[in-house]
Amino acid sequence: MSLLVTGGAGFIGSNFVHGWLASSQAPVAVLDKLTYAGNPANLAAVQTDARFTFIKGDIGDRSLVEKILIDCKIRAVVNFAAESHVDRSIHGPADFIETNVVGTFNLLESVRAYWGRLDEASKQKFRFLHVSTDEVYGSLGPEDPQFSEENQYQPNSPYSASKAASDHLVRAYHHTYGIPVLTTNCSNNYGPFHFPEKLIPLVILNALAGKALPIYGDGSNVRDWLYVTDHCSAIRRVLESGRLGETYNIGGWNEKTNLQVVQTLCSILDELRPRSDGLSYSTQITFVKDRPGHDQRYAIDATKIHQELGWKPAETFETGIRQTVQWYLDHPDWVAGVTSGSYRDWIQTQYGQ
């Protein structure tokens, strides 16, 4: 099965590519626009693999996408390509509509044209897997049951609204045109190659740099945390055996408040890389003004994927978060490469006050 991975130089996409090449002999073509979060360094370890091909480009470029599909004889597309940061969507929603909605539409159109020309046997084997988020479901109260695949969509940010729109397009292309699609909605990922605008890598790097560890509001917002390699193994399982047209929620069964996450990170860093003055990194915690429309709680019910496909996460939060901290300590060159001037400007704009 020749695979096209869109957004494959990003955080989750690059982890997926590494996992795919480690577990399969099938070739992979990566298409990535290489915006601020798409980093060729994430794929450095597979650059010389004969099964790996990288193409710089946009999922909205139909002629390019159709050429890749034909030339590489693609039999499955995994779509990670997306703008994904809520804070950025609040400041600049247009990019999110362009990539997540218009881009997904154009990608689907390219796939529809290609798929329509395949012979019947190849049509049956083809798959389009769309990677989405739990944020499309809105926000939960403290006692509400976890999000299931039956939850109504109630997105609350420009980011989640754009992802909800893309999910609906994927569903429509299955029901209208018969495209063999699968959709996954995941909880918050963490792990290697995570761009440091998100909570966990931001806290690790700020802590080591002696900077404030910013936490929105009072830190009580709850997220379900999923180690990225577990997410990737779930996607491979859905791609292999998921029922066409279905949605599968992927979660880590790890609900933590933001404050708990940051305190855990501080504790691990206190052990692995103690401050020279002997104080805990927790003394750097700073509460900042909450962001607009901040959802209180996300939590995924991953029962369906476990019962139907036999998947469950291999990592607990405790094992995954320790591996994550160690990875950042072991890869200072990667960190230096992504913390460019434009990234520093963004952090100052977002958290400077």
Active-site residue among 87, 135, 197, 224? 135
Q: Count other Cβ atoms within 10 Å, centred on residue 150.
A: 9
Write down the H helix ranges in the chain.
Answer: 11-23, 62-71, 86-91, 93-96, 104-116, 120-125, 158-177, 199-208, 228-241, 258-272, 303-309, 317-330, 332-338, 341-351
Residues 6+ apart with CB under 8 A from 263: 282, 285
SS3 readout for 195-226: CCCCHHHHHHHHHHCCCCEEEECCCCCEEEEE
Per the structure block, which two tokens stand in for 189? Answer: 């990922």
d(CA 84, CA 80): 10
Amino acid at 327: W
As a dihedral over the C-alpha atoms of residue 38, residue 40, residue 45, residue 49, rounded to 10 degrees, the angle is 110
d(CA 75, CA 44): 25
Closest CA to 7 of 36, 38, 29: 38
Sheet of 188-190: strand order equals 188-190, 222-227, 255-257
Q: Is 143 a catalytic residue?
A: no
Residues 6+ apart with CB under 8 A from 158: 89, 90, 93, 96, 97
Q: Is 95 a catalytic residue?
A: no
Active-site residue among 83, 87, 114, 159? 159
Q: Count other Cβ atoms within 10 Å, centred on residue 189.
A: 24
Active-site residue among 134, 167, 224, 295? 134
Q: Is 351 a catalytic residue?
A: no
Residue 10 near residue 30, CB atoms below 8 Å? no
Angle at the Cα of 168 (from 172 to 247), degrees rounded to 5? 95
Active-site residues, by number, are: 134-135, 159
